Chain A
């Protein structure tokens, strides 16, 4: 299972099917939460995950597709769009350090 140290994350991708609704909303929220960190937050359709992504946050239902597209990257699945504990863990690891497994 790929992992990364939170403080090494420079690019976080929120992926979903169209990259227009829920992922855009979550990306906007994370961008606010990570404003003070040296991290780029982008939202992308799952089949357009960029090669330089460090960690990918994706709805559980799309996690397998994301793993097929980016097998070497940590993929963090979430269930709810706002306030999911898995996403909070990623934010905290980026802010305070800690390993992100995915």
Chain B
């Protein structure tokens, strides 16, 4: 696996919105896409690719979190690898699941895999997952997603 980007390289504070609103899953995916466009990580075509991907298979991963991202074809619209973090004031119905947090992904390479693995680690621990969902400030989000110390030792 290639070089890994750090969490702060991938997730800029400007890409964190803790008061997002969405009336539907489609709205929420579009909001993630718009955020990625706004920070210059993707071109507008990527938003359609994200909606397309969501229609094929849900990106709900558990613990109230979904990770919307584009399709293989949509990769052409990726300018640089980046994440966005949207927390919805009211949970969004996601095909029967309730989603509070979306981590939107734009990636042309594999540099973001460690960050996703760290997110998975958080979500498999209900207490850490609850802390992430409850994060009220961008720095709390970054702290909740930061690699754990024992993982740093083992890599």
* Chain A residues near B (Cβ < 8 Å): 16-22, 24-29, 31-32, 35, 42-43, 45, 47, 59, 61-62, 80-83
Q: When the two chains form the complex, which single residue of A29, A31, A61 contacts B57, counting CB atoms closer than 8 Å?
A: A61
Q: When the two chains form the complex, which single residue of A27, A29, A32, A61 contacts B56, counting CB atoms closer than 8 Å?
A: A61
How many residue-residue contacts, CB under 8 A, span A and B? 85
Q: Is the CB of B62 within 8 A of A81?
A: yes
Question: Please, which residue of chain A has its CB at the minimum distance from the CB of B81?
Answer: A20
Known: A18-B69, A21-B105, A24-B110. A62 touches B57 (CB 8 A): yes
What residues on B are CB-neighbors of A42 within 8 Å?
Answer: 1
What residues on B are CB-neighbors of A81 within 8 Å?
Answer: 60-62, 120
- A24 and B110 alpha carbons, distance in the complex (Å): 8
Known: A62-B57, A80-B62. A25 touches B71 (CB 8 A): no
Known: A17-B53, A22-B67, A61-B56. A43 touches B113 (CB 8 A): yes
Interface of A is mostly: mixed
Chain B, interface size category, equals 20 to 34
Q: Does B41 contact A (CB under 8 A)?
A: no
Known: A28-B114, A28-B116, A80-B62. A17 touches B71 (CB 8 A): yes
Pairs A–B under 8 Å by Cβ, sample size 17: A17-B71, A20-B107, A21-B68, A22-B67, A24-B107, A24-B116, A25-B61, A25-B67, A25-B119, A28-B117, A28-B120, A29-B121, A47-B72, A80-B62, A81-B60, A81-B120, A83-B62
Question: Please, which residue of chain A has its CB at the minimum distance from the CB of B106?
Answer: A20
Interface of B is mostly: mixed
The 9 closest A-B pairs by CB, nearest first: A28-B117, A21-B69, A25-B116, A81-B61, A20-B107, A18-B72, A82-B62, A61-B57, A29-B120
What residues on A are CB-neighbors of B69 within 8 Å?
Answer: 18, 20-21
Per-residue 0/1 for B91-110: is the Cβ within 8 Å of any A Cβ (1 yes, 0 no)?
00000000000000101001
Question: Please, which residue of chain A has its CB at the minimum distance from the CB of B67?
Answer: A21
Q: Is the CB of B123 within 8 A of A82?
A: yes
Known: A20-B70, A25-B120, A81-B60. 20 other contacts (CB 8 A): A17-B53, A17-B57, A18-B69, A18-B71, A18-B75, A19-B72, A20-B105, A21-B67, A21-B68, A22-B61, A24-B112, A24-B116, A25-B113, A25-B117, A28-B116, A29-B117, A32-B151, A80-B61, A80-B62, A82-B61
